[in-house]
Structure 1
Amino acid sequence: MGKLLLLFTVVPLVELYLLLFIGDRVGFWPTVAIVASTGAIGAILAKREGLRVLEKWQAALAEARVPEEGVLGGVLVLVGGVLLVTPGVLTDFTGLMLLIPPTRRIIAGFVMRSVERRVAAGSVHVVSYGLGGPGAGAPRSAPRSAPRGQRSVPAMPGVIDVEGEVIDVEG
């Protein structure tokens, strides 16, 4: 929470300073033109790069391969597009770096290493649950069944774990 608060207070102040600095150097209208043009260019680049990533994913999946540019690449394109459409010099520069494929790959590498370190340190915990049907509410990563006499999921408070057997009453 503290990092987000810092981010949402410091970045706008830096952006304001940079816009005033540039406006003082080149004038008001050229500064407005720079901000407007980077927003338009950002929208065009985000659309183009987003479609390119999507086409690569579709082609790879059609050939039953894992896409080379994973979900992280798509997320970085999305973030880059949002940053480029956001008025400001710092956000425009950062967004542009996320939309250019070579720099996006470098940034994706840093992000992946950071996530891997957090996972290795045990500071990331991911649990997903089913939406309904048999096994609803059980973590998806947990085995659905275990050999008789062994528990597949550790007992949790409020959970009644029973074994059952289907008996064919008609046959």
Structure 2
Amino acid sequence: MKKLLWGMLALVFAEIAMLILIGKAIGVFYTLLLIVLTSVVGVLIAKQRGMKSYKDIQNSLQQGQPPGIAMIETFMIFIGGALMALPGFITDIIGLLFVLGITRNLFKPIIFYFLRKKMKKGNVIIVQR
């Protein structure tokens, strides 16, 4: 828990520093405009790709296949969209990496490793109804 708190605090300071640097380089107005633009574009991309991923989950369930990969992609797109909606350039870059399909595939093995590790410890429980 302490690591998460320190990490978020470091991210806030890094975001502020990045905003100051970019603001000095291109001006305050253009910096604010860029922040708003990336937020709007991020939300729109996440909405479009998120709906596609949601449909992939439904198609997998209709075909009787487990929707594991589609669920992970939907989760990553949601997190990416949320990060892009936050003001700041570092969170925008991380969010864009989660939203884009090419870079999202790079994160999947890490997420699968994390889930397997949690399942072995018994921290993840799958409930069937």
- With the shorter chain as reference, the TM-score category is 0.7 to 0.9
Change (3 A) 1:126 1:69: closer
Q: Which has the higher helix share?
A: 2
Q: In structure 1, the residue corresponding to 2:69 is in which secondary structure?
A: coil
TM-score by length of 2: 0.88
Kindly indicate whether the alpha-carbon contact (under 8 Å) linking 1:53 and 1:69 is maintained by their aligned counterparts in 2.
Answer: no
Kindly name which structure, 1 or 2, has the bigger radius of gyration based on alpha carbons. 1
* Aligned residue pairs, count: 128
Structure 1 unaligned residues grouped into runs of 5+: 129-139, 142-171
Rounded Cα–Cα distance in structure 1 between residues aligned with 2:118 and 2:81: 27
Partner residue in 2 for 1:147: none
TM-score by length of 1: 0.68
Instruction: Point out the more displaced range, 46-55 or 61-70.
Output: 61-70
What's the % identity of the aligned pairs? 23
Rounded Cα–Cα distance in structure 2 between residues aligned with 1:57 and 1:24: 45
Partner residue in 1 for 2:123: 125
Rounded Cα–Cα distance in structure 1 between residues aligned with 2:5 and 2:65: 41
Calculate the aligned-residue CA RMSD, in Å: 2.0
Partner residue in 2 for 1:52: 52
Partner residue in 2 for 1:84: 84
Moved over 6 A (4+): none
Higher relative contact order (CA 8 A, sep 6+): 2
Rounded Cα–Cα distance in structure 2 between residues aligned with 1:125 and 1:69: 20
Partner residue in 2 for 1:27: 27
Structure 2 unaligned residues grouped into runs of 5+: none
Change (3 A) 1:68 1:117: closer
Rounded Cα–Cα distance in structure 2 between residues aligned with 1:127 and 1:44: 33
